[in-house]
Amino acid sequence: MSTNKKNKYNTTTKTKEWFPFPKYLFETAKHPILLSTVKCSSSINALFCQQELEQINGITNSLQCEQRDAVRIALFEAIKHAEAAIQKSYAKAKAGSAAKGHEGRNSLKRFNLPKTEKEAAEKAATQLGITVKEFLRLAVIWLADGIKEESITRLTNSRRINKDTVAKQWSRANQGKPASEQVAKLKEARDKAYEEATARGQEYDDHIYAERGRMMDILNNSGIGRALQQASPALRTVNGHNASGISLDMVDAYLAVENEEWIEQALREEEKRREMDELEREIFRTMLMVPEGEPMETIEAIAKETIEERKEHKQWMAFLENTTDEDLIDRDYVLFWQLRTPFTYEQMEEFTWKDEADAERRQGETSQDYVSRSLPAHLVEAWVAYSSD
């Protein structure tokens, strides 16, 4: 098990001895979002899981602003760095994600923002080929992870405050006050965590090995296991279990499915007893996921939002699968270049277009003609190779 001590603990700054846990704070007073005076007349909503809600709280604290504005800043920055964001975080943000810590979304959140910001988010989502709900989660997850991992240390007109400065500000604010029990134990907790890290890691590894071994035995005794062994007969073992032909990714995927299987099994049993429409099924599934005592109106709202997300995602995928190149260009030419050509957004800056109107498809123009007149000479060969494949 890997433990990111550098990011979790303050081990590299001058204040590490008395302020062992770092705080990542940004000076955001001059960020365009906080300087904006446009009325927040629109809204975006999406489903979030508990860890994602904690990430929203985390970026709110780091950006030192209201939660709504923190989410708006996340959207603003994700739009600027859309390609990096989707490559890093889409697996976590997508509808129905099975990524650890991002499954089982059961909290519906709505955020108000100006109409222009919503339209910018919708456009970015369209160009990335995802729904705006997915883009909202993507922005939050990407920014939260980036701040925590220290891959994001500067935002638009907003620098991160030095960790020593944050610690000293905290010290001045608390000078003369009796140390709280929590603060007094921070250094002790850090040192203890170091000492226990190896032991915890070994325990975690032992648990994972045992679970993987159990699942390998199940797969080996199933049809899929026997088929894989025939395809890859060379003997390979993991923790004493035959793993011929079985990848650890496959094992972990089956474990994830198994963890959710009891919900689906309960749903199937209920459907045997009575007919259920889509909303009833989703309400029942949600009731099994959320904490006991959750109000019924909240459960129903979550169920409806889940259905809506699933429907939007399905419609969008169907559109992308069935639309012609010409229709896709007319809807959003950037999306056409990103999804149906080998060229990047940066390479589009080299295209022969004179202006925005020239980037659009002309009346009666085929997609092939459109591509041919758009490409500079040095990119034509790449297009020919791509088209022939």
Quick: pLDDT tens for 320-350. Answer: 888 999 999 998 888 888 888 998 877 888 9
Q: According to the model, what pLDDT value does residue 22 have?
A: 54
- Give a three-class secondary structure readout of 159-170: EECCHHHHHHHH
pLDDT tens per residue across span 121-161: 999 998 888 999 999 999 999 999 999 888 998 999 998 88
Domain boundaries, the chain: 26-160, 208-273, 278-322, 325-388
Q: Which pair of tokens denotes residue 366? A: 């085929």
The C-alpha R_g of the chain, in whole angstroms, comes to: 26
CA dihedral (95, 99, 103, 108) positive or negative: negative
Predicted pLDDT of residue 166? 52
Which residue type, as a one-letter code, is found at position 363?
Q
Q: Which residues of 150-163 are buried (b: 16+ CB within 10 A; e: fewer)?
A: eebeebeebebbeb
Could you read off the pLDDT of 166-192 as tens digits, one per residue? Answer: 555 555 555 555 545 544 444 454 455
**pLDDT tens-digit readout, 54-104:** 899 989 989 989 999 999 999 999 999 998 999 899 999 998 888 888 888
Cα(103)–Cα(49) distance, rounded to whole angstroms? 7
First to last CA, the chain: 42
Q: What is the DSSP string of 310-368?
A: HHHHHHHHHHHHHS-HHHHHHH-HHHHHHHHSS--TTGGGGS--SSTGGGSPPTT--HH
Percent of the chain with pLDDT over 90: 32
Backbone angles phi, psi at 110, to 5 degrees: -125, 135
Q: What's the pLDDT tens digit per position in 212-226?
A: 677 666 666 655 444
Residues 6+ apart with CB under 8 A from 143: 59, 73, 74, 77, 78, 152
Contacting residues for 123 by C-beta, under 8 A, at least 6 apart: 332
Mean pLDDT lowest among 176-190, 299-313, 354-368? 176-190
pLDDT of residue 235 exceeding 50, the answer is no
Q: What is the pLDDT of residues 246-260, one digit of tens each?
A: 566 666 666 655 556
Strands 241-242 and 158-159: unpaired
